[in-house]
Chain A
Amino acid sequence: MLKKLTLVLLLCLLVTALGTAVAQDSELSGEINVYPQNYYNPEADPDTAAVMESIAQAYMEMHPGVTINLIANLPAGTDYNTWLASRIAASEAPDIAWDQYAFRNQQMDNWWVALDDYLNMPNPYIEAGTPGSERWMDSLPDYVINQTRAPDGHLYQVSLDWVETALYYNVDMFKEAGVEPNWANWGAFVADMNKLRDTLGVDPVGLYQAGTGWSSWYWADDVFLSAVWHDKAPEILMQKYIDLQPGRDFRRLNTEEVAKAVHDGVLTATDPRMDTYLALSKQFTELLPVDYIGITSLDDIQRLFLSHEVASFWGGTWNNKQVDESADFEWGVTYLPPFTAEDFAGAAGVSYRVGGPSSAGQYGIPAATADEGNLELAVDFLRWMSAPQNFGPLAATYRGFIPMVAGTEGGAVVQNFSAVAALPERLFGDPNGRLTNEAGDQWSAAMQAFFLDQTDLETTKAALQEVWWNGMLAVCEQQSYDWCS
Chain B
Amino acid sequence: MANEIGQTGPTRSLARFIPGRPRMRSGLVPIYVPFLFLIPALILLVVFRYYPTISAIYHSFTIWDIPKPGEFVGLKNYQALFSDPIFLQSISNILKYTVVRTLLTMTMAIIGAELVYNLASSSWRNIWRLVFTVPMVIPSTVDLLIWKQIYAGRQGLLNEILVGIGALNRPYPWIGRPDTALWALVFIGFPAVAGFGFLIILAALQNLPAEVNDAALIDGCSRLRRVFSIDLPAIRGPLALILILSLNGGLQQFAPMLVVTQGGPVNSTMSPGYYLYTQGFTYGAHGYASAIGTILMLMTLTLSIFIMRARYRRAYDVAI
Q: Which residues of A contact B (CB under 8 A)?
A: 77, 79, 81-82, 85, 88-91, 106-107, 110-111, 203, 210-213, 289-296, 300, 304, 307, 309-310, 367-368, 436-438, 441, 444-445, 448-449, 452, 454
B68 within 8 A of partner (CB): yes
Are A211 and B261 in touch, CB under 8 angstroms? yes
Are B282 and A212 in touch, CB under 8 angstroms? yes
CB closest residue in chain A, given B282: A437
CB-CB < 8 A to B152: which residues of A? 291, 294-295, 300
A296 touching B262 in the complex, CB below 8 Å, given contacts A212-B282, A290-B173: yes
| Residues of chain B in range 243-293 having any CB-CB distance to chain A below 8 Å | 259-267, 269-270, 277-278, 280-284, 286
A-B contact pairs, 21 of them (CB 8 A): A79-B281, A107-B284, A203-B154, A212-B262, A212-B263, A212-B264, A212-B278, A213-B282, A289-B153, A291-B154, A291-B171, A291-B176, A293-B176, A293-B264, A294-B151, A295-B176, A307-B155, A436-B283, A444-B264, A445-B266, A454-B266
| Complex Cα spacing A290 to B175, Å | 11
Are B153 and A290 in touch, CB under 8 angstroms? yes
**Interface size class for chain B?**
35 or more
| Residues of chain B in range 37-84 having any CB-CB distance to chain A below 8 Å | 65-68
Shortest CB–CB separation between residue B297 and chain A, in angstroms? 19
Shortest CB–CB separation between residue B64 and chain A, in angstroms? 9
B66 interface neighbour in A85, A289, A295, A438, Cβ under 8 Å: A85
| Complex Cα spacing A296 to B176, Å | 10
B177 within 8 A of partner (CB): yes
A88 touching B153 in the complex, CB below 8 Å, given contacts A212-B278, A290-B176, A294-B265: no
CB closest residue in chain A, given B258: A79
A210 touching B264 in the complex, CB below 8 Å, given contacts A82-B281, A88-B67, A368-B67: yes
| Complex Cα spacing A111 to B66, Å | 8
A293 touching B155 in the complex, CB below 8 Å, given contacts A89-B66, A107-B284, A211-B265: no
B313 within 8 A of partner (CB): no
CB closest residue in chain B, given A86: B66
CB closest residue in chain A, given B181: A294
CB-CB < 8 A to B66: which residues of A? 85, 88-89
Shortest CB–CB separation between residue B182 and chain A, in angstroms? 12
| Complex Cα spacing A89 to B52, Å | 14
Number of A-B contacts (CB under 8 A): 117
Shortest CB–CB separation between residue A135 and chain B, in angstroms? 32
A294 interface neighbour in B259, B261, B284, Cβ under 8 Å: B261
Interface centre among A111, A291, A307 (most CB of B within 10 A): A291
Shortest CB–CB separation between residue A460 and chain B, in angstroms? 12
| Complex Cα spacing A304 to B149, Å | 12
Please classify the interface of chain B as helix (H, G, I), strand (E, B), loop, or mixed, using the class held by over half of its residues: loop
| Complex Cα spacing A310 to B155, Å | 11
Interface centre among B148, B260, B267, B270 (most CB of A within 10 A): B267
| Complex Cα spacing A309 to B172, Å | 16
CB closest residue in chain B, given A288: B153
B87 within 8 A of partner (CB): no
B170 within 8 A of partner (CB): yes
Are B178 and A454 in touch, CB under 8 angstroms? yes
B173 interface neighbour in A77, A81, A291, A449, Cβ under 8 Å: A291
| Complex Cα spacing A367 to B175, Å | 42
B174 within 8 A of partner (CB): yes
What would 18 more interface pairs be, CB under 8 Å, given A212-B263, A212-B278, A441-B278? A77-B141, A90-B67, A110-B68, A111-B67, A203-B154, A211-B262, A211-B266, A213-B282, A290-B170, A292-B176, A293-B176, A294-B173, A294-B181, A304-B155, A309-B154, A438-B283, A452-B178, A452-B266
